[in-house]
Structure 1
Amino acid sequence: MRHNDYLLDKHYFEKVTALFDRDPKKPQKIIVVEHAVINSLSFMNYLCDHYQVFFIPKPKSIDQKVLKYPSKKCTVLAASRRELKGPNAINILRKVVGQETFSIIDIGGHFAPKLSEIQEHFKGQLFKIIEDTENAYQKYETQFHNNVITIPILSVARSSLKIEEDFLGFWCKSFQVNLF
């Protein structure tokens, strides 16, 4: 398995967290939809050391060896994309967060279809949503056009750091290049 130690430094996550935690009120819980792969471990470990984390692994990228580690430090939820966009989504979140404050880190726009309902049910509890991909961020943007959304949606996808990743992904798809 490949692990880029130079990218996944604890101090890096502390700097990023400092930018997002400028508000003196901090979420008590974080719901994370993330890949269960080796390169996610440092990020998940950092989150679990600083928050009460509820981890929803993306089903198509679960490495069972990797999944053992977050399972020791946080709660792993088995919730599919269908469940998170279905009628039971609010109940799933309510069971996890109760009356406490929370944020969502999402890779794939899992909560976008229910955003207006989530906002309505969790007023004052949901601080922000951080989305990692451009395609999924566009799903959240659609909700802004169709509804009055007051929850901050932060896009990692539009970070200048992602430009190279997007270019490489486009190039590989265009020419059907397999890097590994």
Structure 2
Amino acid sequence: MEPSEHARLDAYWRKIASEFAPDPTARPSSLLVTHLLPERPAFVRAVGAVSELRAVLPKPKSVVAAARREVEQSYRVDELTRERFSDPDDAVAYLESRAAGERIILLDVGGYFAPTLNELCTRFSGTVLGVVEDTENGHKRYASGEKLPCPVISVARSPLKDPEDFLVGQSVVFSAEALVRGRGDILHGRSAYVLGFGKLGSSIARLLHAKGVHVTVYDKDPVRRAQAMAQGFGVARDRDQALSAAGLVLCATGSLSLRGEDFPTLRNSAYVATVTSSEDELELSGLPAGYSRSAVGEHITRYETTGHYFYLLNGGEAVNFLHGASVGPFIFLVQAEIIAAARTFTRAELSPGMHEVPAADRSTIAAHWLNYWNR
């Protein structure tokens, strides 16, 4: 990033932090789950400007070493695992070690705090003011609970996230095609099957179609299947039958796309790619015995058993992170909304349950963003 770009980014975050700074007497503590990509330290500093940032927990598959080193100069950086927050005793002990007795906001990406949120809210010596969640997968994890013990503000379905979702879809298609071409293969001539027709899945489907790829989609939600049909896509009447016919399978459900028993039904030579972590989209642990693995190209694994084989891109992790996963300055829209959400917890008594950032705050963010990047 050029010095002038750094200066503009820092100025933008100073403006956002000033706009959404809490009352100094109500300044909360925070824990931040985030991807540590090259532009991310500026966002981390903005979180630290509006809260007492007790620890940064980088997503393990998306850490750029230089970004981590920069963040470590000012903040504690801890390792992030699902296991740390799936055991109640471990989760509470960790929170106590970082923010005992404090009022804290949990800034999440992927529902990491969801499994033990009840225990964190009831056993922690301080107060969990709430959770801010950034992803569709995490939104579903929190929304699926019978009764949330605290408010959760989700920005996963915000209008400010639409540009990011479109560009993430574009980067997924780019990376999938780059890997396939690296093997001397092409997407043309392969039928693509997109599992999940939310904002990411629909973006991927449109981009593949624009490249001349025949696309079939499936979503558990019949409303989304109807939307896909209205947009001209083939919609699978039978999920499993369509899976067995696809040459490229893109998993974009935000939850479990392929079960262990699904893999043997893939057609020979099919490629499988995901838009999120393998632990969320793929039940690789359920793959039947007898499959062997071998690397057949950079970031391509061949799974093979007698009479059957398929290819997995990037080990099942989000394929777009192989090429930086950059969506340009559009990511700063939803990151600013995360900061606005954190301020909301200090200004209003929100009831336990799912909430959104006020529309007026989203408009303010968009106006500031346009002032810095619409040039």
TM-score class, shorter: 0.7 to 0.9
Shift of 1:164: 2.6
Which digits, 9 at most, give the CA deviation of each residue in 1:77-113, with x for residues without a partner? 1231221222411111111111111111111111011
* Partner residue, 1:121: 123
**SS in structure 2 opposite 1:136?**
helix
Amino acid at match of 1:40: R
- What is the alpha-carbon distance in structure 1 between the residues aligned to residue 161 and residue 98 of structure 2? 31
CA contact 2:59–2:80 (8 Å) conserved in 1: no
The aligned counterpart of 1:102 is 104
Q: CA deviation at 1:159?
A: 1.4
Residues in 1 aligned to 2:141 and 2:52: alpha-carbon distance in whole angstroms: 27
Residue in structure 1 matched with residue 152 of structure 2 by the alignment: 153
The corresponding residue for 1:25 is: 26
Q: Which amino acid aligns with 2:65?
A: Q
Deviation per CA, 1:138-179: give whole Å up to 9, x if none.
111112xx23x2412111112111123223444634437969
- Identity rate, percent: 28
**1:142/1:15 CA distance change after superposition, 3 Å:** farther
Q: Which amino acid aligns with 2:123?
A: H
Q: Distance in 2 between matches of 1:154 and 1:14?
A: 18
State the distance in 1 between where 2:18 and 2:153 align. Answer: 16
Going from structure 1 to structure 2, the CA distance change for 1:101 and 1:67 (only over 3 Å counts) comes to: same
> 1:34, CA displacement in angstroms?
0.5
Q: Which residue of 2 aligns with 1:68?
A: 69
User: Unaligned stretches of 5+ in structure 1?
Assistant: none
Kept in 2, the 8 Å contact 1:2–1:39? The answer is no
Q: CA deviation at 1:52?
A: 2.7
Change (3 A) 1:50 1:23: closer
Change (3 A) 1:22 1:152: farther
Alpha carbons of structure 1 residues 36 and 42: separation in structure 2 relative to 1, 3 Å: same
**One-letter code aligned to 2:17:** E
Partner secondary structure for residue 26 of structure 2? coil
Matched, 1:130 2:132: yes
Q: Which amino acid aligns with 1:115?
A: L
> Root-mean-square deviation (CA), in Å?
2.9
Residue 95 of structure 1 aligns with an amino acid whose one-letter code is S
Task: Decide which moves more: 102-111 or 75-84.
Answer: 75-84
Name the CA shift for 1:47/1:155 in 2 (closer, same or farther; >3 Å).
same
Q: Hey, what does 2:165 align to over in structure 1?
A: 166
How far apart are 1:60 and its partner, in Å? 0.4
User: Could you say which structure has the larger radius of gyration?
Assistant: 2
TM-score, scaled relative to structure 1: 0.81
- 1:22: Cα distance to partner? 6.7
The answer for unaligned runs of 5 or more in structure 2 is 174-203, 209-249, 251-318, 324-375
Quote the offset at 1:128 in angstroms.
Answer: 1.7
Equivalents in 2 of 1:170, 1:150: separation in Å? 34
The structure-2 alpha-carbon separation of the partners of 1:142 and 1:23, relative to structure 1 and needing over 3 Å to count, comes to farther
Counterpart of 1:57 in 2: which secondary structure? strand
How many pairs align? Answer: 174
Q: Distance in 2 between matches of 1:111 and 1:16?
A: 28
| Range moving further from structure 2, 151-160 or 43-52 | 43-52
Summarize deviations over 1:25-45 as a string: whole Å, max 9, x none: 231x21000111112111101
Amino acid at match of 1:55: V
